[in-house]
A and B are shown apart, each in its own frame.
Chain A
Amino acid sequence: MRSSGVAAMLLASVVTTTPALAQQQQPSVPLIAQGCAGCHGQNGAGQGATPPIAGTSRDEFIKIWAAFRANERPATIMNRIARGYTDAEVAALADHFAARR
Protein backbone atom coordinates (compact mmCIF):
# COMPACT_ATOMS: atom_id res chain seq x y z
CA MET A 1 0.00 0.00 0.00
CA ARG A 2 1.32 3.45 -0.79
CA SER A 3 2.36 5.88 1.90
CA SER A 4 -0.21 8.46 2.81
CA GLY A 5 2.24 11.21 1.84
CA VAL A 6 2.07 10.09 -1.76
CA ALA A 7 -1.67 9.62 -1.42
CA ALA A 8 -2.10 13.18 -0.22
CA MET A 9 -0.02 14.45 -3.12
CA LEU A 10 -2.06 12.47 -5.61
CA LEU A 11 -5.32 13.57 -4.08
CA ALA A 12 -4.24 17.16 -4.20
CA SER A 13 -3.02 17.08 -7.79
CA VAL A 14 -6.06 16.01 -9.78
CA VAL A 15 -9.69 15.95 -9.01
CA THR A 16 -11.77 14.81 -11.94
CA THR A 17 -9.25 13.00 -14.13
CA THR A 18 -10.49 9.88 -15.82
CA PRO A 19 -7.89 7.14 -15.59
CA ALA A 20 -6.55 6.54 -19.09
CA LEU A 21 -5.83 2.94 -18.22
CA ALA A 22 -9.48 2.12 -17.87
CA GLN A 23 -10.72 4.10 -20.81
CA GLN A 24 -9.43 1.62 -23.37
CA GLN A 25 -12.18 -0.93 -22.87
CA GLN A 26 -15.90 -0.90 -22.24
CA PRO A 27 -16.93 -1.36 -18.62
CA SER A 28 -18.80 -4.48 -17.70
CA VAL A 29 -21.83 -4.11 -15.50
CA PRO A 30 -23.00 -5.58 -13.21
CA LEU A 31 -19.48 -6.79 -12.40
CA ILE A 32 -18.17 -3.34 -11.47
CA ALA A 33 -21.30 -2.74 -9.40
CA GLN A 34 -20.40 -5.87 -7.42
CA GLY A 35 -17.63 -3.91 -5.71
CA CYS A 36 -20.23 -1.68 -4.04
CA ALA A 37 -21.90 -4.65 -2.31
CA GLY A 38 -19.20 -4.79 0.33
CA CYS A 39 -20.59 -1.61 1.91
CA HIS A 40 -23.99 -0.72 0.46
CA GLY A 41 -25.60 -4.10 1.05
CA GLN A 42 -27.12 -6.37 -1.58
CA ASN A 43 -28.16 -4.55 -4.77
CA GLY A 44 -27.47 -1.20 -3.14
CA ALA A 45 -30.23 -1.66 -0.57
CA GLY A 46 -28.19 0.02 2.17
CA GLN A 47 -26.62 -1.55 5.24
CA GLY A 48 -26.53 -0.14 8.74
CA ALA A 49 -25.27 3.43 8.59
CA THR A 50 -24.31 3.16 4.91
CA PRO A 51 -27.04 4.79 2.78
CA PRO A 52 -29.11 2.91 0.19
CA ILE A 53 -28.30 3.73 -3.43
CA ALA A 54 -30.83 1.52 -5.23
CA GLY A 55 -33.43 3.46 -7.14
CA THR A 56 -31.40 6.68 -7.40
CA SER A 57 -32.29 8.25 -10.75
CA ARG A 58 -29.57 8.22 -13.38
CA ASP A 59 -29.17 12.00 -13.47
CA GLU A 60 -29.13 12.31 -9.70
CA PHE A 61 -26.52 9.55 -9.44
CA ILE A 62 -24.23 11.23 -11.96
CA LYS A 63 -24.60 14.58 -10.19
CA ILE A 64 -23.83 13.04 -6.80
CA TRP A 65 -20.80 11.25 -8.24
CA ALA A 66 -19.39 14.43 -9.75
CA ALA A 67 -19.85 16.20 -6.42
CA PHE A 68 -17.99 13.42 -4.59
CA ARG A 69 -15.15 13.61 -7.09
CA ALA A 70 -14.87 17.35 -6.65
CA ASN A 71 -15.05 17.21 -2.83
CA GLU A 72 -18.27 19.21 -3.01
CA ARG A 73 -20.44 16.75 -1.15
CA PRO A 74 -19.78 15.72 2.46
CA ALA A 75 -18.00 12.38 2.42
CA THR A 76 -15.91 10.21 4.69
CA ILE A 77 -14.89 7.89 1.86
CA MET A 78 -16.94 8.25 -1.34
CA ASN A 79 -14.71 11.10 -2.55
CA ARG A 80 -11.74 8.71 -2.57
CA ILE A 81 -13.80 5.96 -4.20
CA ALA A 82 -15.42 8.20 -6.83
CA ARG A 83 -12.05 9.21 -8.30
CA GLY A 84 -11.32 5.57 -9.17
CA TYR A 85 -14.00 5.20 -11.85
CA THR A 86 -14.19 6.55 -15.41
CA ASP A 87 -17.11 8.58 -16.75
CA ALA A 88 -18.22 5.58 -18.80
CA GLU A 89 -18.17 3.38 -15.72
CA VAL A 90 -20.11 5.95 -13.70
CA ALA A 91 -22.77 6.06 -16.40
CA ALA A 92 -23.01 2.27 -16.32
CA LEU A 93 -23.22 2.26 -12.52
CA ALA A 94 -25.93 4.94 -12.69
CA ASP A 95 -28.02 2.83 -15.09
CA HIS A 96 -27.51 -0.23 -12.96
CA PHE A 97 -28.56 1.30 -9.66
CA ALA A 98 -31.40 3.32 -11.20
CA ALA A 99 -32.89 -0.01 -12.25
CA ARG A 100 -32.65 -1.57 -8.77
CA ARG A 101 -35.49 -1.22 -6.26
Chain B
Amino acid sequence: MTILTRRRFTALASALAGASVLSPHVVRAQTRPRLVIIGGGFGGASAARFARLQFPQVDVTLIEPKTTFVTCPYGNLVLEGARTLPQISHSYDRLKARGVNLVHDWADAIDPATRTIRLRGGTALSYDKLILSPGIAIRWGALAGYDEAAAEVFPHAWVPGSGEQTTLLRRQLEALPDGGVFGMAIPANPFRCPPGPYERISMVASYLKKHKPRAKILALDAKEAFSKQNLFQDAWTELYPGLIEWVPSNRDGRVVRVDPREKVLETEFGTRHRVDVANVIPPQSAAKIAIDAGLANETGWVPVNPRTFEATRAQHIHVIGDANVGQPMPKSGYIANSTSKQAVASAVALLEGREPPASPVYFNTCYSHVADDYGISVVGVFRPGETGFVETPNSGGVSPRGPLAERREQRRLEALYADAWYASIVEDAFG
Protein backbone atom coordinates (compact mmCIF):
# COMPACT_ATOMS: atom_id res chain seq x y z
CA MET B 1 0.00 0.00 0.00
CA THR B 2 1.42 3.44 -0.83
CA ILE B 3 1.47 6.18 1.77
CA LEU B 4 -1.00 8.20 -0.25
CA THR B 5 -3.61 5.50 -0.43
CA ARG B 6 -3.12 4.59 3.18
CA ARG B 7 -3.72 8.22 4.17
CA ARG B 8 -6.84 8.41 2.04
CA PHE B 9 -8.05 5.12 3.47
CA THR B 10 -7.46 6.23 7.04
CA ALA B 11 -9.36 9.45 6.39
CA LEU B 12 -12.25 7.49 4.97
CA ALA B 13 -12.10 5.04 7.83
CA SER B 14 -12.24 7.71 10.49
CA ALA B 15 -15.11 9.40 8.70
CA LEU B 16 -16.94 6.12 8.81
CA ALA B 17 -16.14 5.51 12.44
CA GLY B 18 -17.50 8.96 13.22
CA ALA B 19 -21.05 7.47 13.25
CA SER B 20 -23.84 7.82 10.75
CA VAL B 21 -21.96 9.55 7.98
CA LEU B 22 -23.86 9.07 4.77
CA SER B 23 -21.58 9.00 1.81
CA PRO B 24 -22.59 7.57 -1.56
CA HIS B 25 -19.46 5.39 -1.36
CA VAL B 26 -20.33 3.94 1.98
CA VAL B 27 -22.63 0.96 2.09
CA ARG B 28 -25.95 1.86 3.76
CA ALA B 29 -26.25 2.16 7.50
CA GLN B 30 -27.25 -1.04 9.28
CA THR B 31 -29.55 -1.58 12.15
CA ARG B 32 -28.56 -5.19 12.70
CA PRO B 33 -24.99 -5.86 13.87
CA ARG B 34 -22.78 -6.54 10.95
CA LEU B 35 -20.81 -9.75 10.39
CA VAL B 36 -18.50 -9.40 7.40
CA ILE B 37 -16.66 -12.34 5.88
CA ILE B 38 -13.66 -12.00 3.59
CA GLY B 39 -13.07 -14.95 1.24
CA GLY B 40 -15.76 -17.20 -0.22
CA GLY B 41 -13.84 -20.47 -0.14
CA PHE B 42 -14.39 -23.45 2.15
CA GLY B 43 -14.04 -21.42 5.34
CA GLY B 44 -15.80 -18.24 4.26
CA ALA B 45 -18.72 -19.79 2.39
CA SER B 46 -19.37 -22.22 5.26
CA ALA B 47 -19.26 -19.32 7.72
CA ALA B 48 -21.69 -17.23 5.66
CA ARG B 49 -24.17 -20.08 5.27
CA PHE B 50 -23.97 -21.10 8.92
CA ALA B 51 -24.36 -17.50 10.11
CA ARG B 52 -27.41 -17.01 7.91
CA LEU B 53 -29.04 -20.24 9.14
CA GLN B 54 -28.27 -19.86 12.85
CA PHE B 55 -28.18 -16.14 13.56
CA PRO B 56 -30.96 -14.22 11.80
CA GLN B 57 -30.25 -11.29 14.13
CA VAL B 58 -27.01 -10.41 12.33
CA ASP B 59 -26.43 -8.99 8.88
CA VAL B 60 -24.07 -11.18 6.83
CA THR B 61 -21.86 -9.86 4.03
CA LEU B 62 -19.44 -12.01 2.05
CA ILE B 63 -16.61 -10.38 0.10
CA GLU B 64 -15.25 -12.60 -2.67
CA PRO B 65 -13.95 -11.44 -6.07
CA LYS B 66 -14.94 -14.53 -8.04
CA THR B 67 -18.51 -15.36 -9.03
CA THR B 68 -17.70 -19.08 -9.30
CA PHE B 69 -15.60 -21.04 -6.85
CA VAL B 70 -13.49 -23.90 -8.21
CA THR B 71 -12.59 -26.32 -5.44
CA CYS B 72 -9.09 -27.66 -4.84
CA PRO B 73 -10.62 -30.93 -3.62
CA TYR B 74 -11.27 -33.18 -6.61
CA GLY B 75 -8.93 -31.04 -8.75
CA ASN B 76 -6.61 -34.04 -8.87
CA LEU B 77 -9.46 -36.05 -10.38
CA VAL B 78 -9.76 -33.43 -13.09
CA LEU B 79 -6.08 -34.05 -13.87
CA GLU B 80 -6.83 -37.76 -14.07
CA GLY B 81 -9.82 -37.22 -16.34
CA ALA B 82 -12.34 -38.67 -13.89
CA ARG B 83 -13.99 -35.24 -13.35
CA THR B 84 -14.44 -32.06 -15.36
CA LEU B 85 -13.88 -28.50 -14.21
CA PRO B 86 -17.63 -27.63 -14.28
CA GLN B 87 -18.24 -30.56 -11.92
CA ILE B 88 -16.03 -28.92 -9.29
CA SER B 89 -17.25 -25.33 -9.84
CA HIS B 90 -19.85 -23.79 -7.55
CA SER B 91 -21.82 -20.56 -7.73
CA TYR B 92 -22.81 -18.24 -4.89
CA ASP B 93 -26.43 -18.01 -6.01
CA ARG B 94 -27.79 -20.20 -3.25
CA LEU B 95 -25.97 -18.22 -0.56
CA LYS B 96 -27.44 -15.05 -2.09
CA ALA B 97 -30.90 -16.61 -1.98
CA ARG B 98 -30.36 -17.28 1.72
CA GLY B 99 -29.86 -13.58 2.30
CA VAL B 100 -26.08 -13.33 2.33
CA ASN B 101 -25.02 -9.96 0.86
CA LEU B 102 -22.46 -10.83 -1.77
CA VAL B 103 -19.86 -8.27 -2.69
CA HIS B 104 -17.82 -9.48 -5.64
CA ASP B 105 -14.67 -7.49 -5.07
CA TRP B 106 -11.24 -7.78 -3.49
CA ALA B 107 -10.72 -6.57 0.05
CA ASP B 108 -7.52 -4.57 -0.29
CA ALA B 109 -6.98 -3.49 3.30
CA ILE B 110 -8.36 -3.94 6.78
CA ASP B 111 -8.06 -1.28 9.45
CA PRO B 112 -8.59 -3.10 12.77
CA ALA B 113 -8.63 0.18 14.72
CA THR B 114 -11.68 1.57 12.92
CA ARG B 115 -13.10 -1.85 11.89
CA THR B 116 -13.14 -0.85 8.27
CA ILE B 117 -12.38 -2.72 5.08
CA ARG B 118 -11.33 -1.00 1.89
CA LEU B 119 -12.48 -2.64 -1.30
CA ARG B 120 -10.57 -2.51 -4.58
CA GLY B 121 -13.62 -0.95 -6.24
CA GLY B 122 -13.10 2.11 -4.01
CA THR B 123 -15.82 1.69 -1.40
CA ALA B 124 -15.28 1.07 2.28
CA LEU B 125 -17.23 -1.28 4.46
CA SER B 126 -17.47 -1.32 8.23
CA TYR B 127 -17.90 -4.39 10.41
CA ASP B 128 -18.75 -5.25 13.97
CA LYS B 129 -17.09 -8.68 13.65
CA LEU B 130 -14.94 -9.87 10.79
CA ILE B 131 -14.39 -13.48 9.73
CA LEU B 132 -11.27 -13.73 7.59
CA SER B 133 -10.82 -16.86 5.47
CA PRO B 134 -8.63 -15.75 2.56
CA GLY B 135 -6.66 -18.97 2.16
CA ILE B 136 -3.01 -19.02 1.13
CA ALA B 137 -0.57 -16.94 -0.86
CA ILE B 138 2.25 -18.44 -2.85
CA ARG B 139 5.59 -17.10 -1.63
CA TRP B 140 6.82 -16.13 -5.07
CA GLY B 141 10.59 -16.24 -5.25
CA ALA B 142 11.00 -18.28 -2.04
CA LEU B 143 11.94 -21.13 -4.36
CA ALA B 144 14.62 -19.66 -6.67
CA GLY B 145 13.34 -19.23 -10.21
CA TYR B 146 9.69 -19.74 -9.33
CA ASP B 147 7.76 -16.57 -10.11
CA GLU B 148 4.41 -15.89 -11.80
CA ALA B 149 5.92 -16.32 -15.26
CA ALA B 150 7.49 -19.65 -14.25
CA ALA B 151 4.05 -20.85 -13.08
CA GLU B 152 2.85 -20.58 -16.69
CA VAL B 153 5.42 -23.23 -17.61
CA PHE B 154 5.55 -25.23 -14.38
CA PRO B 155 1.98 -24.92 -13.02
CA HIS B 156 1.36 -25.18 -9.30
CA ALA B 157 -2.37 -25.91 -9.61
CA TRP B 158 -2.54 -25.32 -5.85
CA VAL B 159 -4.66 -22.16 -5.80
CA PRO B 160 -7.46 -22.87 -8.24
CA GLY B 161 -8.53 -19.34 -9.23
CA SER B 162 -10.89 -20.01 -12.11
CA GLY B 163 -9.30 -23.35 -12.87
CA GLU B 164 -6.71 -22.12 -15.36
CA GLN B 165 -3.77 -23.70 -13.51
CA THR B 166 -5.45 -27.10 -13.31
CA THR B 167 -6.43 -26.88 -16.98
CA LEU B 168 -2.86 -25.97 -17.95
CA LEU B 169 -1.42 -28.91 -16.05
CA ARG B 170 -3.99 -31.27 -17.57
CA ARG B 171 -3.07 -30.07 -21.09
CA GLN B 172 0.61 -30.58 -20.37
CA LEU B 173 -0.11 -34.07 -19.14
CA GLU B 174 -2.04 -34.80 -22.34
CA ALA B 175 0.91 -33.50 -24.40
CA LEU B 176 3.51 -35.46 -22.41
CA PRO B 177 5.22 -38.00 -24.68
CA ASP B 178 4.96 -41.66 -23.70
CA GLY B 179 8.31 -42.27 -22.07
CA GLY B 180 8.47 -38.67 -20.80
CA VAL B 181 9.10 -37.51 -17.24
CA PHE B 182 6.47 -35.77 -15.09
CA GLY B 183 8.40 -33.94 -12.36
CA MET B 184 7.02 -32.67 -9.05
CA ALA B 185 8.46 -30.37 -6.42
CA ILE B 186 6.78 -30.82 -3.03
CA PRO B 187 7.28 -28.31 -0.19
CA ALA B 188 8.18 -28.62 3.49
CA ASN B 189 5.47 -28.37 6.18
CA PRO B 190 3.21 -26.55 6.76
CA PHE B 191 1.30 -26.23 3.50
CA ARG B 192 -2.23 -26.52 2.16
CA CYS B 193 -3.58 -30.11 2.14
CA PRO B 194 -0.87 -32.44 3.53
CA PRO B 195 -2.02 -35.52 1.54
CA GLY B 196 -2.73 -33.45 -1.61
CA PRO B 197 0.63 -33.91 -3.39
CA TYR B 198 0.46 -37.68 -2.90
CA GLU B 199 -3.11 -37.92 -4.14
CA ARG B 200 -1.87 -35.95 -7.13
CA ILE B 201 1.01 -38.40 -7.72
CA SER B 202 -1.54 -41.22 -7.59
CA MET B 203 -4.01 -39.56 -9.98
CA VAL B 204 -1.27 -38.65 -12.48
CA ALA B 205 0.00 -42.24 -12.23
CA SER B 206 -3.51 -43.52 -12.91
CA TYR B 207 -3.69 -41.36 -16.05
CA LEU B 208 -0.23 -42.43 -17.21
CA LYS B 209 -0.93 -46.11 -16.62
CA LYS B 210 -4.00 -45.85 -18.83
CA HIS B 211 -2.57 -43.63 -21.57
CA LYS B 212 1.25 -43.47 -21.41
CA PRO B 213 2.52 -46.56 -19.65
CA ARG B 214 6.18 -45.83 -20.41
CA ALA B 215 6.16 -42.35 -18.81
CA LYS B 216 7.49 -41.80 -15.29
CA ILE B 217 6.81 -39.58 -12.28
CA LEU B 218 9.78 -38.07 -10.45
CA ALA B 219 8.50 -36.61 -7.18
CA LEU B 220 11.12 -34.52 -5.37
CA ASP B 221 10.15 -33.83 -1.77
CA ALA B 222 11.47 -31.36 0.82
CA LYS B 223 10.29 -33.79 3.52
CA GLU B 224 11.27 -37.26 4.70
CA ALA B 225 7.76 -38.38 5.58
CA PHE B 226 4.21 -37.50 4.60
CA SER B 227 0.54 -37.98 5.35
CA LYS B 228 -0.88 -41.53 4.89
CA GLN B 229 2.60 -42.49 3.64
CA ASN B 230 2.36 -46.27 4.15
CA LEU B 231 -1.04 -46.43 2.48
CA PHE B 232 0.10 -44.40 -0.51
CA GLN B 233 3.36 -46.29 -0.93
CA ASP B 234 1.67 -49.69 -0.56
CA ALA B 235 -0.73 -48.68 -3.33
CA TRP B 236 2.02 -47.32 -5.58
CA THR B 237 3.99 -50.54 -5.28
CA GLU B 238 0.98 -52.66 -6.01
CA LEU B 239 -0.78 -50.61 -8.70
CA TYR B 240 1.94 -48.55 -10.35
CA PRO B 241 5.18 -50.58 -10.08
CA GLY B 242 8.18 -48.75 -11.58
CA LEU B 243 6.10 -45.73 -12.51
CA ILE B 244 6.72 -43.50 -9.47
CA GLU B 245 10.04 -42.44 -8.00
CA TRP B 246 9.56 -40.51 -4.75
CA VAL B 247 12.75 -38.88 -3.46
CA PRO B 248 12.76 -37.67 0.16
CA SER B 249 14.87 -34.75 1.41
CA ASN B 250 17.48 -37.04 3.01
CA ARG B 251 18.14 -38.48 -0.45
CA ASP B 252 18.55 -35.08 -2.10
CA GLY B 253 14.87 -34.59 -2.82
CA ARG B 254 14.62 -30.94 -1.79
CA VAL B 255 14.22 -28.71 -4.85
CA VAL B 256 16.07 -25.39 -4.35
CA ARG B 257 15.87 -23.90 -7.84
CA VAL B 258 13.69 -24.31 -10.90
CA ASP B 259 14.59 -23.41 -14.48
CA PRO B 260 11.49 -23.37 -16.68
CA ARG B 261 13.51 -22.52 -19.84
CA GLU B 262 15.75 -25.56 -19.55
CA LYS B 263 12.93 -27.59 -17.93
CA VAL B 264 15.11 -28.39 -14.94
CA LEU B 265 14.38 -28.98 -11.24
CA GLU B 266 17.57 -28.54 -9.24
CA THR B 267 17.97 -30.11 -5.80
CA GLU B 268 19.98 -29.21 -2.70
CA PHE B 269 23.19 -31.01 -3.66
CA GLY B 270 23.22 -29.58 -7.18
CA THR B 271 21.54 -32.42 -9.07
CA ARG B 272 19.78 -31.05 -12.14
CA HIS B 273 16.75 -33.16 -13.07
CA ARG B 274 15.51 -32.65 -16.62
CA VAL B 275 11.76 -33.12 -16.91
CA ASP B 276 9.19 -32.83 -19.68
CA VAL B 277 6.41 -31.44 -17.48
CA ALA B 278 6.69 -30.20 -13.92
CA ASN B 279 4.16 -29.46 -11.22
CA VAL B 280 5.81 -27.17 -8.67
CA ILE B 281 3.97 -26.93 -5.37
CA PRO B 282 5.69 -23.88 -3.92
CA PRO B 283 6.20 -22.65 -0.33
CA GLN B 284 3.14 -20.83 1.02
CA SER B 285 1.99 -18.33 3.63
CA ALA B 286 -1.31 -16.86 4.77
CA ALA B 287 -2.96 -14.79 1.99
CA LYS B 288 -1.73 -11.25 1.38
CA ILE B 289 -4.65 -9.49 3.04
CA ALA B 290 -3.89 -11.21 6.37
CA ILE B 291 -0.19 -10.36 6.16
CA ASP B 292 -0.87 -6.73 5.15
CA ALA B 293 -3.25 -6.30 8.08
CA GLY B 294 -0.39 -7.29 10.41
CA LEU B 295 -2.13 -10.43 11.64
CA ALA B 296 0.58 -13.00 10.82
CA ASN B 297 3.60 -13.83 12.94
CA GLU B 298 7.15 -14.53 11.73
CA THR B 299 6.07 -17.92 10.32
CA GLY B 300 3.78 -16.20 7.81
CA TRP B 301 0.61 -17.66 9.37
CA VAL B 302 -1.92 -16.05 11.74
CA PRO B 303 -1.91 -17.08 15.41
CA VAL B 304 -5.44 -17.33 16.83
CA ASN B 305 -7.26 -18.04 20.05
CA PRO B 306 -8.03 -21.77 19.76
CA ARG B 307 -11.54 -21.40 21.15
CA THR B 308 -12.78 -18.33 19.28
CA PHE B 309 -10.35 -18.03 16.34
CA GLU B 310 -9.92 -14.37 17.16
CA ALA B 311 -6.51 -13.26 15.88
CA THR B 312 -3.97 -12.89 18.67
CA ARG B 313 -2.90 -9.60 17.11
CA ALA B 314 -6.26 -7.93 16.51
CA GLN B 315 -9.61 -7.87 18.26
CA HIS B 316 -12.85 -8.51 16.37
CA ILE B 317 -11.12 -10.40 13.53
CA HIS B 318 -11.59 -14.18 13.55
CA VAL B 319 -9.22 -15.98 11.19
CA ILE B 320 -10.14 -19.44 9.95
CA GLY B 321 -9.03 -21.91 7.29
CA ASP B 322 -5.58 -22.32 5.82
CA ALA B 323 -4.46 -18.82 6.85
CA ASN B 324 -4.19 -19.54 10.58
CA VAL B 325 -1.63 -21.40 12.68
CA GLY B 326 -3.71 -24.49 13.11
CA GLN B 327 -1.21 -27.24 13.85
CA PRO B 328 -1.68 -30.07 14.49
CA MET B 329 -4.89 -29.55 12.51
CA PRO B 330 -4.23 -29.89 8.78
CA LYS B 331 -4.87 -27.07 6.31
CA SER B 332 -7.92 -28.75 4.82
CA GLY B 333 -11.32 -27.80 3.48
CA TYR B 334 -12.98 -29.88 6.19
CA ILE B 335 -11.12 -28.05 8.98
CA ALA B 336 -11.96 -24.69 7.36
CA ASN B 337 -15.61 -25.79 7.31
CA SER B 338 -15.84 -27.22 10.82
CA THR B 339 -13.89 -24.40 12.51
CA SER B 340 -15.94 -21.75 10.68
CA LYS B 341 -18.97 -22.65 12.77
CA GLN B 342 -17.26 -22.19 16.13
CA ALA B 343 -15.71 -18.94 14.86
CA VAL B 344 -19.09 -17.56 13.79
CA ALA B 345 -20.83 -18.70 16.98
CA SER B 346 -18.03 -17.12 19.03
CA ALA B 347 -18.12 -13.86 17.09
CA VAL B 348 -21.88 -13.54 17.54
CA ALA B 349 -21.68 -14.49 21.24
CA LEU B 350 -19.01 -11.84 21.86
CA LEU B 351 -21.03 -9.32 19.92
CA GLU B 352 -23.97 -9.98 22.24
CA GLY B 353 -21.90 -10.05 25.42
CA ARG B 354 -22.20 -13.81 25.91
CA GLU B 355 -19.50 -16.45 26.48
CA PRO B 356 -18.31 -18.18 23.29
CA PRO B 357 -19.56 -21.79 23.06
CA ALA B 358 -17.71 -24.11 25.43
CA SER B 359 -15.78 -27.29 24.51
CA PRO B 360 -15.92 -27.23 20.73
CA VAL B 361 -14.80 -30.17 18.60
CA TYR B 362 -12.98 -29.49 15.34
CA PHE B 363 -13.38 -32.31 12.91
CA ASN B 364 -11.31 -33.41 9.95
CA THR B 365 -11.36 -36.15 7.39
CA CYS B 366 -9.20 -36.10 4.29
CA TYR B 367 -10.10 -38.72 1.72
CA SER B 368 -7.65 -39.37 -1.11
CA HIS B 369 -8.29 -41.18 -4.35
CA VAL B 370 -5.43 -43.47 -5.27
CA ALA B 371 -6.94 -45.22 -8.31
CA ASP B 372 -10.40 -46.00 -9.71
CA ASP B 373 -12.48 -47.51 -6.90
CA TYR B 374 -9.62 -47.03 -4.46
CA GLY B 375 -9.95 -44.50 -1.63
CA ILE B 376 -8.08 -44.00 1.64
CA SER B 377 -8.65 -41.59 4.51
CA VAL B 378 -7.27 -39.95 7.60
CA VAL B 379 -9.45 -38.74 10.48
CA GLY B 380 -8.57 -36.20 13.17
CA VAL B 381 -10.74 -34.98 16.04
CA PHE B 382 -9.30 -31.83 17.63
CA ARG B 383 -10.11 -29.57 20.56
CA PRO B 384 -8.74 -26.31 21.87
CA GLY B 385 -5.90 -26.66 24.38
CA GLU B 386 -4.24 -24.09 26.64
CA THR B 387 -2.48 -22.27 23.83
CA GLY B 388 -3.11 -24.22 20.64
CA PHE B 389 -5.01 -27.17 19.27
CA VAL B 390 -4.84 -30.72 20.60
CA GLU B 391 -5.71 -33.95 18.84
CA THR B 392 -8.06 -36.10 20.89
CA PRO B 393 -6.07 -39.10 22.16
CA ASN B 394 -6.90 -42.63 20.98
CA SER B 395 -9.08 -41.43 18.12
CA GLY B 396 -8.86 -40.85 14.41
CA GLY B 397 -5.98 -42.13 12.32
CA VAL B 398 -5.72 -43.68 8.89
CA SER B 399 -7.46 -46.47 6.98
CA PRO B 400 -6.20 -49.99 7.71
CA ARG B 401 -3.17 -51.22 5.74
CA GLY B 402 -3.08 -54.44 3.77
CA PRO B 403 -2.82 -55.78 0.25
CA LEU B 404 -5.62 -54.93 -2.16
CA ALA B 405 -6.78 -58.55 -2.28
CA GLU B 406 -7.65 -58.30 1.43
CA ARG B 407 -8.83 -54.69 1.46
CA ARG B 408 -10.69 -54.38 -1.82
CA GLU B 409 -14.08 -53.70 -0.21
CA GLN B 410 -12.69 -51.11 2.22
CA ARG B 411 -10.93 -49.26 -0.64
CA ARG B 412 -13.95 -49.43 -2.93
CA LEU B 413 -16.29 -48.15 -0.24
CA GLU B 414 -13.93 -45.33 0.76
CA ALA B 415 -13.84 -44.12 -2.85
CA LEU B 416 -17.65 -44.01 -2.79
CA TYR B 417 -17.76 -42.32 0.62
CA ALA B 418 -15.20 -39.79 -0.64
CA ASP B 419 -17.61 -38.81 -3.40
CA ALA B 420 -20.39 -38.50 -0.82
CA TRP B 421 -18.10 -36.36 1.33
CA TYR B 422 -17.49 -34.00 -1.58
CA ALA B 423 -21.19 -33.58 -2.29
CA SER B 424 -21.98 -33.17 1.41
CA ILE B 425 -19.29 -30.60 2.26
CA VAL B 426 -19.99 -28.54 -0.86
CA GLU B 427 -23.67 -28.45 0.15
CA ASP B 428 -22.69 -27.36 3.66
CA ALA B 429 -20.64 -24.48 2.24
CA PHE B 430 -22.36 -23.32 -0.95
CA GLY B 431 -25.83 -24.87 -0.69
Contact = CB atoms under 8 A, between A and B. Distances in A.
B398 to A, nearest CB: 5
A10 B397 contact: yes
B178 to A, nearest CB: 34
Overall SS of chain B's interface:
mixed
B199 to A, nearest CB: 14
Contact of A28 (B195, B225, B357, B417): B357
Contacts of B357: 28, 31
A39 B194 contact: no
Q: How big is the B interface, by class?
A: 35 or more
Contacts of A77: 365, 377, 379, 399, 414, 417
Contacts of B365: 38-39, 77, 81
A39 B330 CA distance: 18
A83 B396 contact: yes
A42 B359 contact: no
A38 B365 CA distance: 9
Greatest chain A CB density within 10 A among B229, B393, B397, B428 is at B397
B188 interface: no
A32 B50 CA distance: 13
A4 B229 contact: yes
B393 A10 contact: yes
B424 A84 contact: no
Interface residues of A, number: 42
Contact of B359 (A10, A17, A22, A76): A22
A41 B337 CA distance: 14
A68 B385 CA distance: 26
B428 A42 contact: yes
Nearest to B54: A30
A46 to B, nearest CB: 9
Contacts of A70: none
Interface of A: 1-5, 7-8, 10-11, 13-14, 17, 19, 21-22, 24-28, 31-32, 34-35, 37-42, 47-50, 76-77, 80-81, 83-85, 89
19 contacts: A1-B228, A3-B229, A5-B230, A17-B393, A19-B394, A22-B392, A27-B359, A28-B357, A31-B345, A32-B361, A34-B338, A35-B361, A35-B363, A38-B428, A39-B417, A42-B428, A50-B417, A84-B379, A89-B361
Given A35-B361, A38-B338, 20 more contacts: A1-B328, A2-B328, A8-B397, A8-B401, A17-B394, A32-B361, A34-B50, A38-B365, A48-B416, A48-B424, A49-B417, A76-B410, A76-B413, A76-B417, A77-B379, A80-B396, A81-B395, A81-B396, A83-B396, A85-B361
